[in-house]
Amino acid sequence: MAQWPLPPNLHSEIAGGPICFHADHSIGSKDGLIPRYTDSHACVKCISALTEGRLSLDVHKIERKYRRRFLEFWSFVEIKDPDECWPWRGKYHSRSNSSYFPIPRHWGSGRQYSAQRVAAWFTWGDIGRLPIKAVCGNNNCCNPLHLRVKGVPHFFHNRHMQLIDLEFNSNKLTHETQLFLETTCEKDPRRFEKIQKANRLWIDFRLQANGPLSPFTMGDKTASDDPSISFT
Ligand SMILES: [Zn+2]
Ligand SMILES: [Zn+2]
């Protein structure tokens, strides 16, 4: 998929647009709209978070209506250590061998985007159609620390902090995607079948993998008994 070419006066105009994936960004919005750049469609708040080097893997910070898709997406990522590549185990276009994940966006009729772009949206923020680059050179890698967004500066003030954070949160995310798969398998077999179809081997493997989990994820508060997690 060709990337969107950066225009000369990038981000010179802002207008109201649909809410982004990150729940905090619609707080205080009275008309149900959030500020977005008119050219890239990126969320203005997401761009400032990215510029400051903020990154999140927390399903609780995702807007309620996107949580199911978020967990479905990460179910197809082989989440490894923060300094390793995280391979995409979901669907690929057979001709170009490029990854994709179905997710409709408001600016276009296309309903499929590269797994890398979706990984950037769900971690760094809703960067719209800004071009991205994998610094590890692996176009199937979904590790947010290996992704750079072009056109906006990145300041990694808290890089050290981020690694600790990312390790903790990626363990949590692995656990949450597992619960998501188990719950879907049990409560919504038809949807589960659809998910399984994308890569049966991988999904079966994920369902059988019962660890190793960190002591943090085994703590007293997990997604299963947390009423604030909702897939609707
Ligand atoms: Zn946002
Ligand atoms: Zn990588």
Quote the ipTM score: 0.98
Ligand number, closest to the Cα atom of 41? 1
Ligand number, closest to the Cα atom of 145? 2
* CB 143, CB 137: distance < 8 Å: no
Ligand number, closest to the Cα atom of 139? 2
For residue 140, the number of C-alpha atoms closer than 13 Å in the C-beta half-sphere is 14
171-186 burial code (b ≥16 CB/10 A, e <16): bbbbbbbbbbbebbbe
Distance (angstroms) between ligand 2 centre and the Cα of 232 equals: 32
Whether the per-residue pLDDT at 158 is higher than 60: the answer is: no
Domain ranges of the chain: 14-225
Whether the per-residue pLDDT at 180 is higher than 80: the answer is: yes
Distance (angstroms) between ligand 2 centre and the Cα of 217 equals: 25
Ligand number, closest to the Cα atom of 147? 2
Ligand number, closest to the Cα atom of 36? 1
pLDDT 10s digits, 54-102: 888 999 999 999 999 999 999 999 999 888 999 999 999 988 889 999 9
Q: Tokens 């493997």 correspond to what residue?
A: 205
Distance (angstroms) between ligand 1 centre and the Cα of 45 equals: 5
Distance (angstroms) between ligand 1 centre and the Cα of 109 equals: 21
pLDDT 10s digits, 112-151: 999 999 999 999 999 999 999 999 999 999 999 899 999 9
Q: DSSP E strands: which ranges in 51-90?
A: none
Query: What does pLDDT average to over the chain?
Result: 86
**What does the pLDDT read at residue 219?**
39
Residue 175 gets the label, from left (phi > 0), alpha (psi -120 to 50) or beta, of alpha
